[in-house]
Amino acid sequence: MQLAARIRPRDLEEFFSTVGKVRDVRMISDRNSRRSKGIAYVEFVDVSSVPLAIGLTGQRVLGVPIIVQASQAEKNRAAAMANNLQKGSAGPMRLYVGSLHFNITEDMLRGIFEPFGRIESIQLMMDSETGRSKGYGFITFSDSECAKKALEQLNGFELAGRPMKVGHVTERTDASSASSFLDSDELERTGIDLGTTGRLQLMARLAEGTGLQIPPAAQQALQMSGSLAFGAVAEFSFVIDLQTRLSQQTEASALAAAASVQPLATQCFQLSNMFNPQTEEEVGWDTEIKDDVIEECNKHGGVIHIYVDKNSAQGNVYVKCPSIAAAIAAVNALHGR
């Protein structure tokens, strides 16, 4: 939604291909004028790309920030899933877990989620080329009630400086079909920001009186931070933030993540504090800034599109590179200059 008037299906396919393979793009046009209504539908080959695409909301395409929402078909699937939950369906339940730091492992996820109940399987999606995590995966609980409790408490839970996204996955009853559908509305929920102390209290109180023990893998993922004044539950005190530990393991990866400050790797990025619109008086000052950015980006892979927002109080410049690798290299070179 909210697309630029001159945008083409090819532009959208290129933009969304950063989060998954696109099967089809359909632009909605006015029946009489044949002009775009600023709305399009994008279909992905892999349904797991949907929540990643929703995460692109606010990114600029041809200078216009877009709005990405689940289609009515996705919402209908979500409604069907909700009805099944209301019926009190028992048995295993599968959860989607996203927005993960790339250094998080399956053992770490098990350590964080296992206190809520027995886990049947954990599948962390890996990049076949780099061998690194894609930042999302799926966890199957033996008991649906345990899965619901984990979803309620861990959706929005900050891990390694990133709020986790935890949501339902509804599966077809046909046993021969392995495809599943993500409840995108659930994925859009954001957890309440309790702060570090609040999160400690939440997790400790959740474990209080249950006899649950934090598994060793959780100790690797969650650093100890002294004791809390919870008496019997003081043994459950731990820190949620993994930044220090992760930087010790792979300093280069942590620095890249801190520099990009984006939950998703895309071809697009924003530069701030590039100028002060109140003091720029020379004719063509915006063109000079644009040329400077292009010159620097050309050293790292080039530029497809650049826009200098002359009215931005923050001095913003928006850039789109031909590849994610080029964008990351340009960000690392320009950050802090």
Tokens 């590849």, residue? Answer: 323
pLDDT at res. 78: 56
| For residue 201, pLDDT beyond 70 | no
What's the rounded Cα separation, in Å, for the pair 242 and 13? 35
Predicted confidence band of residue 314 (pLDDT cuts 50, 70, 90)? confident
pLDDT average, residue stretch 299-321: 87
Q: Point out which residues pair with 165 in neighbouring strands.
A: 98
pLDDT average, residue stretch 242-261: 49
Q: Which residues contact 269 (CB under 8 A, 6 or more apart)?
A: 260, 262, 318, 319, 321, 327, 330, 331
Give the domains, in start order, of the chain with CATH numbers. Answer: 9-83 (3.30.70.330), 94-168 (3.30.70.330), 268-334 (3.30.70.330)
Predicted confidence band of residue 1 (pLDDT cuts 50, 70, 90)? low
pLDDT at res. 141: 93
What's the rounded Cα separation, in Å, for the pair 245 and 263? 19
Element spanning 249, H or E = helix 243-249
pLDDT average, residue stretch 78-83: 56
| For residue 11, pLDDT beyond 80 | yes
Q: Point out which residues pair with 148 in neighbouring strands.
A: none
Q: Are 167 and 155 in contact (CB under 8 A)?
A: yes
pLDDT at res. 211: 54
| For residue 102, pLDDT beyond 60 | yes
Q: DSSP class of residue 53?
A: H
Predicted confidence band of residue 243 (pLDDT cuts 50, 70, 90)? very low
CB atoms within 10 A of CB 94: 18
Which range among 156-170, 253-267, 277-291 has the greatest average pLDDT? 277-291
| For residue 209, pLDDT beyond 60 | no
* HEC secondary structure over 140-181: EECCHHHHHHHHHHHCCCEECCEECEEEEEEECCCCCCCCEE
pLDDT average, residue stretch 24-49: 82
Which of 306, 334, 335 shows the shortest CA–CA distance to 322? 306
What's the rounded Cα separation, in Å, for the pair 284 and 65? 25
pLDDT at res. 272: 87
| For residue 287, pLDDT beyond 60 | yes
pLDDT at res. 73: 55
pLDDT average, residue stretch 100-107: 88
What's the rounded Cα separation, in Å, for the pair 262 and 86? 36
Return the percentage of the chain with pLDDT > 70, whole number: 65
**pLDDT tens digits, 122-144:** 999 998 888 888 889 999 999 98
If DSSP codes are grouped into helix, strand and coil, which group holds residue 7? coil
pLDDT average, residue stretch 213-241: 41
pTM > 0.85: yes or no:
no
pLDDT at res. 181: 36
Which of 115, 135, 116, 114 shows the shortest CA–CA distance to 126? 135
pLDDT at res. 311: 84
pLDDT at res. 228: 35
The two tokens of residue 79 are 């409604």
Which of 264, 257, 227 shows the shortest CA–CA distance to 242? 257
Which of 73, 65, 63 shows the shortest CA–CA distance to 43? 73
Which range among 213-217, 242-246, 290-294 has the greatest average pLDDT? 290-294
Average pLDDT, rounded, for the chain: 72
